[in-house]
Structure 1
Amino acid sequence: MYSMNTSAPLSQRCPRPLLSSLSYHLPKRKFSFPPLPTKHHLLTSTFPRSPSLSLHLESSRISARKCVPENVSNSFEPDQVQEEAFGSIQEIAHNEIDITKILMGANSIIPHVVLASTLLALIFPPSFTWFTTRYYAPALGFLMFAVGVNSSSKDFIEAINRPGVLTAGYVGQFIIKPLLGYFFGTISVTAFRLPTSIGAGIMLVSCVSGAQLSNYATFLADPAMAPLSIVMTSLSTATAVLVTPMLSLLLIGKRLPVDVKGMMSSIVQIVVVPIAAGLLLNRFSPRISAAIRPLLPPLSVFVTALCVGSPLAINIDAVLSPFGIIILLLIIGFHASSFFAGYILTGLVFQKAPDVKALQRTLSFETGMQSSLLALALANKFFKDPLVGVPPAISVVIMSLMGFSLVMLWTKRRDQVPA
């Protein structure tokens, strides 16, 4: 038998390899090795039943255990190493995905941000007064750039296949809504004896294109309709360079002077160029576009908060004046009637469509939510009377709160409908 010197160094204490030991002690004859199910049988039952051989195998096995610590031997098991490595990779990827989801999901807090900005501007105006009117155009341009980066030609192609719906959305934007704006703007001057500039501000709100927030509201209520909403908003935004100045001249021109050429130039700079830049970046530099896309939602929420709070803070005296409540009620009436008209008229025109309810909600958002920030930027730049900007400033808040309230209402009803 092989004797082990326990006082020798570790390298000398270890027995010779198992196969060499076996070849030395086994009798010189052929053996058959039947298949055995467990590792225990490999050491006890594969070979002829010889007491000396069994004792030698057992001592070799014990010696091997003493030579290699248990924690060391376990650490080199292939399955465990692979599982630990794969788990680490999964954890890193999961963390990255979570961060991206958090950034991309920042738009979900827009209703809360709008409400918080409104309250903060009313309670402590200096928190927003530093964001003066000269920043409105660049801020709106950034929001338009974000829309361009998040759009693609595929979205347009899918929605263009429904020209009837696009036409209905366009009619709601630039015919129904301006008529309602003209009605509420007129009664503000004739019935409530408000300054002419207030009526002009209400009409200006009704002349601008659709709001990008309508796309997000549509996505929350009916995700499948989001591309259609994007196309309708993009179409109204692209043609606003001609339509908005002409409508403003038609509705407001008899009351206040309107610079049509100046409005067209500003809309090109604020809307058309940023959206085109975003689309081009998305098309020709997809890596850069993909890298900055997760950062755009939180930045857009921050910019939206500034654009909501600043107009209220700057015009706080007019908003809290005796006629401020009347303006608020007129703006609420204007938006409520716009949401209602878009919903009802769509139901009458597309009553046979299989997705008529989803279309009604989508066109209601498109008709009731418009780019009040654009109206505010135009009011501050092209009208000398600061009161023209008061209705757009109030409209930014009312439009957002009413729109997302409808999202919560319609989403709750949709979830309650049995499948």
Structure 2
Amino acid sequence: MKRIFKFIEKYFFIIIFLAVVISLVYPNAFQWVLSDYNGINILNLLLSIVLFTMGTTLKADDFIRVFKNPKEISVGLIAQYAVMPLLALALAKFFSLNTALTVGLILVGTVPGGTASDVITFLSKGDVALSVSLTAFSTVISPILTPLITLLLIGNQIQFNPVDMFISIIEIVIIPIVLGLILNYKFPDFCERLKDYLPAISSIVICLIVAGVIGVNKQAILTSSAIIIVVIILQYFLAMLLGFAVGHLAGMDRKQIVTVAIELAFQNSGLSTGLAKTHFPSLSQATVPGALYSVWQNFAGSILAYVFRRYLS
């Protein structure tokens, strides 16, 4: 059984590609992902599962590192919540994206870093401790910063309630992480054994989310795919380059620079998709950028990890 989970973890980029193909050929197969069951939003539930698994891998020491390494953490967080949102806004304006795609792209830029960044940092021989701290802390402060920055960037274009978004992030992100932390504190040995399976579980959940969003928005993706795919690829690589620049200007060492670059490029795109569906229900295309970004960041990330390990270590 463990070998199966390791296989899923190792070849995640292939599995997510297959999920995309299946969702385009059989779009109805994954529509349940974006539906409700007995009043429970399935998409948000799946996101909570991913964040819960993240919580079971964290300890109090991961947050204490924030105070032990204030410079590196501060630089990473400022880049996360300043560079990425402004980059998303600039790309949306430059390519004249419609309102829905603009909202989706902005959300990709304003959500915290994704948990996949920790795995890619490890494979790239970066600073894993810094990556874990940045992911954890950017996630913890996201209930405040994600709604606030989103409001500042698109509040004059479309109305939404940042307080409701704050509550959503608390429910989807913070509560599952806290529950995972508690489980890890009470049963550390059990959580340690779970670590062999959690990356694969998270990968499967992310594949379901991506397949669901792409299946529901198949027609919209096919009609606007050329533009939005170009934008997503640019957003990813520009974020990576800006991360290298920020780390270099801050005087970080090689491992830290690679880590900041990865952390900046890897977003919690599943959360951006969930927020788009929950808070912008009239803009169905708003979920598309998050789904496409998830596919691209995991596919490109696995290749870049090899390049970083081979040529930058």
**Mean CA deviation greater in 368-377 or 133-142:** 133-142
Other-structure match for 1:407: 305
The higher relative CO (CA closer than 8 Å, separation ≥ 6) is in 2
Matches within 5 A, 1:298-377: 298-321=200-223, 323-350=224-251, 353=252, 356-377=253-274
Partner residue of 2:61? 154
**TM-score with structure 2 setting the length:** 0.91
User: Conserved in 2, the CA contact under 8 Å of 1:188 and 1:198?
Assistant: no
1:84-99 equivalences under 5 Å are none
**Conserved? CA contact 2:45–2:172, under 8 Å:** yes
Matched ranges for 1:200-349 at <5 A: 200-222=103-125, 225-290=127-192, 292-321=194-223, 323-349=224-250
For the pair 1:395 / 2:293, whether they are aligned, the reply is: yes
CA–CA distance in structure 2, aligned partners of residues 132 and 372 of structure 1 = 15
- Cα separation, partners in 2 of 1:380 and 1:341, compared to 1, 3 Å: same
Q: Give the total of aligned pairs.
A: 307
CA distance in 2, matches of 1:175, 1:186: 17
In the alignment, which residue of structure 2 is the partner of 1:43?
none
Quote the Cα distance in structure 1 between the aligned partners of 2:191 and 2:93.
46
CA deviations on 1:310-364 (whole Å, 9 max, x unpaired) are: 111111100001x3211111111111111110012211221xx5xx221121011
Structure 1 range deviating more: 332-341 or 300-309 = 300-309
Whole-angstrom CA distance in 1 between matches of 2:239 and 2:71: 20
CA contact (8 A) 2:147 2:165 kept: yes
Query: Does 1:179 pair with 2:86?
Result: yes
Q: Match for residue 385 of structure 1?
A: 283
TM-score norm. by structure 1 comes to 0.69
**1:293 deviation in Å?**
4.1
Deviations, residues 385-413 of structure 1 (Å, cap 9, x unaligned): 11211222211112222222211211222
Which whole-Å CA distance do the structure 1 matches of 2:173 and 2:311 have between them?
35
The one-letter amino acid paired with 2:228 is I
- Displacement of 1:114 after TM fit? 2.0
Contact kept? 1:248, 1:258, Cα under 8 Å: no
- The amino acid across from 2:309 in the alignment is T
Which residue matches 1:199? 102
Q: CA deviation at 1:102?
A: 6.0
What secondary structure, in the 3-state scheme, does the structure 1 residue paired with 2:157 have?
Answer: coil
Could you tell me which runs of 5 or more consecutive residues in structure 2 were left unpaired when the two chains were aligned.
36-40
Counterpart residue number, 1:109? 11
C-alpha distance after superposition, 1:89-110 (max 9, x if no partner): xxxxxxxxxx657646742222
Asked if structure 2 preserves the Cα contact closer than 8 Å seen for 1:308 and 1:393, the reply is yes
**Paired letter, 2:106:** M
1:130 is paired with a residue of what secondary structure? helix
Largest Rg, 1 or 2: 1
- Contact 2:266–2:297, Cα closer than 8 Å, also in 1: yes
8 A Cα contact 2:8 2:15, kept in partner: no
**Distance across 2 between alignment mates of 1:390 and 1:104:** 29
2:63–2:136 CA contact under 8 A, matched in 1: no
Q: Give the superposition deviation at 1:161.
A: 2.1
**Inter-partner Cα distance in structure 2 for 1:160 and 1:113:** 38
For the pair 1:164 / 2:71, whether they are aligned, the reply is: yes
Deviation for aligned residue 1:158: 4.6
Given that residues 105 and 297 in structure 1 are in contact (C-alpha distance below 8 angstroms), is that contact kept between their aligned partners in structure 2? no
State the identity as a percent. Answer: 26
Q: Are 1:142 and 2:40 an aligned pair?
A: no
For residues 29-40 of structure 1, what are the structure 2 equivalents within 5 Å? none
Secondary structure of 1:174's counterpart equals: helix
